[in-house]
Amino acid sequence: MNHQAHSEQLFESLSRHGIVIPEAYRQKIESRLNQVINYEPRVGVFGKTGAGKSSLCNALFGRDVCPVSDIAACTRSEQEVFLGIGSKGMTLLDVPGVGESGARDQEYAQLYSTLLPKLDLVLWVIKADDRALASDEDFYKRIVSPYIQAGTPFFIVLNQVDKIEPFREWDEAAHQPGPRQACAIDEKRRAVAAYFGLPLDQVLPCAADEQYGLIELVDAVIHALPREKRAGVLIQVQPKHRSEKAKQETGNGLLDTIVDVIVDIVPFVPGSAKKSVKNALKSFCKWVGSLF
């Protein structure tokens, strides 16, 4: 079913419940909803070389990150910095790792400050067995933290947890850690959370190559995103990593967004009628669910 048919179904659902939307408002509603549904998320993927940024993005989204290696990008326009992938979809930015070149860290700080306000989500990828985190911590606390405190969803992804000792315990058939390894992974999570001063639920373990922990990461990301941006992200996630929980939370968020758009645009539908509008759209929920 195309977007035109979806729009007709939307307005028919409302009409059946006595909420008739004049043509003058329909186009505005369709335009606003298309912006929400077709929104192209911008995700910054931070971390040192070798942390597994590309493997993580490939596992989650089926695509590589766009490298941001040219420091001159700081002075470019947003359209040039955010290199698109295809005609639409998602922009994944591979941000240079800090601490790898002392001479360039100051330039990297400027790059971070330029990019961060434009990102919808930040994933900071750390190799699980990396113990040299001083440079990561310094940049996080000096440069990144203010934007996180302002509301940008942020997660530290402990990647390659299958390499944590005792790595021979890793169950290759089940793609999960053995008992002692699971304890070691949990200890690492707690240590990193304390090191960065973050809640434990913002430090998530995964092994991208082993497809471990990706569903939990997607669940956490979807929950943290503003409801109007969840659909844009979940649509880009590989279907096997979309849990029913993530689908439901995204669908509910999208439905709430649709209701808000209608109430905002149509003057004779008051805010007090939100519940009635939502009830009228229950039959429309199947379309919302079909997106995911």
Whether residue 251 sits in one domain with residue 235: no
Our count of domains for the chain comes to 2
* Averaged pLDDT score across all residues of the chain: 82
Whether residue 264 sits in one domain with residue 142: no
> What pLDDT digit, counting tens, does each position of 165-215 carry?
998 999 999 999 999 999 999 999 999 999 999 999 999 999 999 999 999
Whether residue 188 sits in one domain with residue 51: yes
Query: Average of pLDDT values for 22-48?
Result: 85
Whether residue 233 sits in one domain with residue 154: yes
Alpha helices in the chain (DSSP H): 3-15, 23-37, 53-61, 78-81, 105-115, 134-139, 145-149, 179-196, 214-224, 227-234, 244-265, 274-280, 285-290
Q: Are 54 and 65 in contact (CB under 8 A)?
A: yes
Residue 122 bridge partners (DSSP): 44, 154
Q: What is the pLDDT of residue 205?
A: 97
> What pLDDT digit, counting tens, does each position of 51-85 carry?
888 889 889 988 777 666 543 433 333 333 333 33
pTM (2 decimals)?
A: 0.84
Whether residue 93 sits in one domain with residue 28: no
What's the full length of the chain, in residues? 292
Whether residue 224 sits in one domain with residue 178: yes
Whether residue 16 sits in one domain with residue 90: no
Query: Average of pLDDT values for 226-234?
Result: 89
b (16+ CB within 10 A) / e for 223-239: ebbebbbbbbbbbbbee
Whether residue 227 sits in one domain with residue 114: yes
How far CA 272 is from CA of 50, 259, 267, 269, 276, in Å, comes to 53, 11, 12, 8, 9
Cα 40 to Cα 231: distance, rounded to the nearest angstrom: 10
Q: What percent of the chain has pLDDT over 70?
A: 83
Distance of CA 247 to the CA centre of its chain: 14
> What pLDDT digit, counting tens, does each position of 96-143 carry?
666 655 666 677 777 777 888 888 999 999 999 888 888 788 878 888
Q: Are 162 and 177 in contact (CB under 8 A)?
A: yes
Query: Which domain, by its residues, includes 7?
Result: 3-37+246-290
Whether residue 102 sits in one domain with residue 51: yes
